[in-house]
A and B are shown apart, each in its own frame.
Chain A
């Protein structure tokens, strides 16, 4: 079982992101369970949502306390809550920022971990460019697909097209595709370095 925790703020679409991720996994014939952290959703407040992916029925109902991957939609959360709590030693981290981990003072995060599994992505900028709104979901999910290979880009695109239609869907697909390519390029640079 692969467990993903998404951190963001109310209004950024954290819950929708996990739902779309579960739909993407479902499109690949896998079992997936997405659920929010069950609260009154308030714009701007820290929000957590979860997604499990497995090849068999998922029965577990506890919150994800030891994630295999973290997607962080808002870097300002790093000062507010311990988003990295419980992250597995070989876990993935995708952070929505146009800065580098070092620039954010997070260089220490890699210690004892697989640095190639950490990636930043300017998802909000990509969303503004392609969708016209600062909703970083689609690029982050595509970036996660590129980083982890847990799901395919085409499945993320399918999930986008199930959730949205018309221009909004097209914009999200464009943002997702560019995000996927950016992360793949970063991974190649890392491997070559």
Chain B
């Protein structure tokens, strides 16, 4: 049913339609509205059978999800930012044990400095955790990806993170088509676990594995993600058959056919990028877009194919590998190895800094002329940066950086807007 609703509410409805049997919840902004809405549904008896467990921390949330998934229950949780970091040991265990948990990550920056706003640092910190990671461009896609994620997770017996931009998507009211229970039931069969803890047929899950077998277990995790590269497009095609919508898949291009400059990105910023590309196309610029939906597994072949005919590309990402540059950009450059393509990295939107069209117009025009540095920090306040660097040169005891920058900018508390 088409409705005007909040992203978090829409995702909660989508998760409920997937008939989870255990939901573990610990509140952290900006995912809280999702588990709150699910909690209300469980309490009202609208989602049954389902146990809603208020746990004492994110570490407990993932630990309980591991237990319930191993016992054969379809298990779901959601988190963000420091919450994801706090559960990391259990995050690796969930994937290492091959448990098909689905978790929403309402993407948010990682402190310090403490910051509640959006970027992709949290999910990307778990790049190598063995979880698959799917990034939603819109709230409609967030809804659709959750439904596909349970299929993907359970067919491969591996966990999936559905990543959606915190606040920008979770708190946005927009038009979303919520599927019917019949549609979701037709697409998503009941959970038939590959491994299950059952007192009637006792087994153990979680054995200690020494050097004689560890690499094989790890390789099989990799092999499953390589299988996912084939399964994800199949699930998207099947999704289109059932629901009549293009959603998910590995990558998606936009106005790319004769593009000389390609912009590569993940998540909701793709919307703003497409608007800028439309405006530039109207002026005759040959520019197109490559959206990456599946960040893990990373679709090297599809990224390469999408960029092969351009002359240069910019990876615009909401993440920073400190001491290196881009995180997504590193993978994209690996995908185009040997093509001789010029690649630029643009770091934007960290800690919720808005990414306005005007800044993108400027950036993309510079990229067309290949005037960009290898790594560009979009809308960085160089005066503030240089002032602090000078302070550090002048004074051995220059004090805390964040407080100095806030003081220089005349900000007494974080600005909302």
Given contacts A23-B4, A60-B271, contact A37 B416 (CB under 8 A): yes
Residue of A nearest to B116 (CB): A40
Q: How far is the CB of B317 from chain A (nearest CB, A)?
A: 15
Contact among A33, A35, A38, A61 with B269 in the assembled complex (CB-CB below 8 Å): A61
Residues from chain A with a CB closer than 8 A to the CB of B3 are 26
> Are B271 and A59 in touch, CB under 8 angstroms?
yes
Cα distance A34–B139 when bound, in Å? 12
Is A65 close to B, CB under 8 A? yes
Residues from chain B with a CB closer than 8 A to the CB of A27 are 4
Residues from chain A with a CB closer than 8 A to the CB of B175 are 26, 31-32
Residue of A nearest to B165 (CB): A61
The 8 A CB mask of A16-50 against B (1 = contact, 0 = none) is 00110011011100011111111110000111100
Residues from chain B with a CB closer than 8 A to the CB of A109 are none
> Are A58 and B272 in touch, CB under 8 angstroms?
no
Residues from chain A with a CB closer than 8 A to the CB of B268 are 61
Q: How far is the CB of A24 from chain B (nearest CB, A)?
A: 9
Residues from chain B with a CB closer than 8 A to the CB of A22 are 4, 173-174
Is A13 close to B, CB under 8 A? no
Residue of A nearest to B174 (CB): A33
Residue of B nearest to A5 (CB): B417
Contacts of B240-296 to chain A: CB distance below 8 A: 268-272, 274-275
Residue of B nearest to A25 (CB): B4
Contact among A38, A46, A59 with B171 in the assembled complex (CB-CB below 8 Å): A38
Is B414 close to A, CB under 8 A? yes
Given contacts A32-B4, A39-B417, A45-B416, contact A19 B272 (CB under 8 A): no
Residue of B nearest to A39 (CB): B416
The 8 A CB mask of B155-180 against A (1 = contact, 0 = none) is 00000000000011001111100000
Count contacts on B: residues with CB < 8 A to the other chain: 31
> Are A61 and B416 in touch, CB under 8 angstroms?
no
> Are A39 and B414 in touch, CB under 8 angstroms?
yes
Query: Of B93-101, B216-224, B353-361, which binds chain A?
Result: B353-361
Cα distance A60–B273 when bound, in Å? 8
Given contacts A60-B271, A60-B357, A61-B271, contact A38 B173 (CB under 8 A): no
Residue from B3, B271, B274 whose CB has the most chain A CB atoms within 10 Å: B271
Contact among A33, A40, A48 with B417 in the assembled complex (CB-CB below 8 Å): A48
Cα distance A85–B415 when bound, in Å? 16
> Are B4 and A62 in touch, CB under 8 angstroms?
no
Residue of A nearest to B417 (CB): A37
Residues from chain B with a CB closer than 8 A to the CB of A48 are 416-417
Is A63 close to B, CB under 8 A? yes
Cα distance A96–B268 when bound, in Å? 34
Contact among A19, A26, A32 with B6 in the assembled complex (CB-CB below 8 Å): A19
> Are B172 and A35 in touch, CB under 8 angstroms?
yes
The 8 A CB mask of A86-130 against B (1 = contact, 0 = none) is 000000000000000000000000000000000000000000000
Residues from chain A with a CB closer than 8 A to the CB of B138 are 59
Residues from chain B with a CB closer than 8 A to the CB of A38 are 30, 117-118, 167-168, 171, 352, 416
Residues from chain B with a CB closer than 8 A to the CB of A26 are 3-4, 175
Cα distance A18–B417 when bound, in Å? 15
* Chain A interface category by residue count: 20 to 34
Cα distance A36–B172 when bound, in Å? 7
Contact among B171, B271, B272 with A36 in the assembled complex (CB-CB below 8 Å): B171
Q: How far is the CB of B106 from chain A (nearest CB, A)?
A: 12
Residue of B nearest to A42 (CB): B416
Q: How far is the CB of A79 from chain B (nearest CB, A)?
A: 17
Residue of A nearest to B349 (CB): A61
Residues from chain A with a CB closer than 8 A to the CB of B270 are 59
Residues from chain B with a CB closer than 8 A to the CB of A39 are 116, 414-417
Residues from chain A with a CB closer than 8 A to the CB of B6 are 19
Residue of A nearest to B168 (CB): A61
Q: How far is the CB of B205 from chain A (nearest CB, A)?
A: 41
Residues from chain A with a CB closer than 8 A to the CB of B116 are 39-40
The 8 A CB mask of A50-62 against B (1 = contact, 0 = none) is 0000000011111
The 8 A CB mask of B1-37 against A (1 = contact, 0 = none) is 0011010000000000000000000000010000000
Cα distance A40–B355 when bound, in Å? 20
Given contacts A19-B6, A39-B417, A48-B417, contact A61 B355 (CB under 8 A): yes
Q: How far is the CB of B166 from chain A (nearest CB, A)?
A: 8
> Are A19 and B173 in touch, CB under 8 angstroms?
yes
Residue of B nearest to A62 (CB): B356
Cα distance A10–B415 when bound, in Å? 14
Contacts of A125-161 to chain B: CB distance below 8 A: none
Residue of B nearest to A21 (CB): B173
17 contacts across the A-B interface (CB closer than 8 A): A23-B173, A26-B175, A31-B174, A33-B172, A35-B167, A38-B117, A38-B167, A39-B414, A40-B116, A45-B416, A48-B417, A59-B274, A60-B275, A61-B268, A61-B271, A63-B356, A63-B417
Q: Which 7 pairs from chain A and chain B are nearest by CB?
A: A39-B416, A59-B271, A26-B4, A37-B417, A34-B173, A38-B167, A35-B172
Given contacts A18-B173, A19-B6, 16 further A-B contacts (CB under 8 A): A19-B173, A22-B173, A26-B175, A34-B174, A35-B172, A37-B417, A38-B168, A39-B414, A39-B416, A39-B417, A40-B116, A48-B416, A48-B417, A62-B354, A63-B354, A63-B356
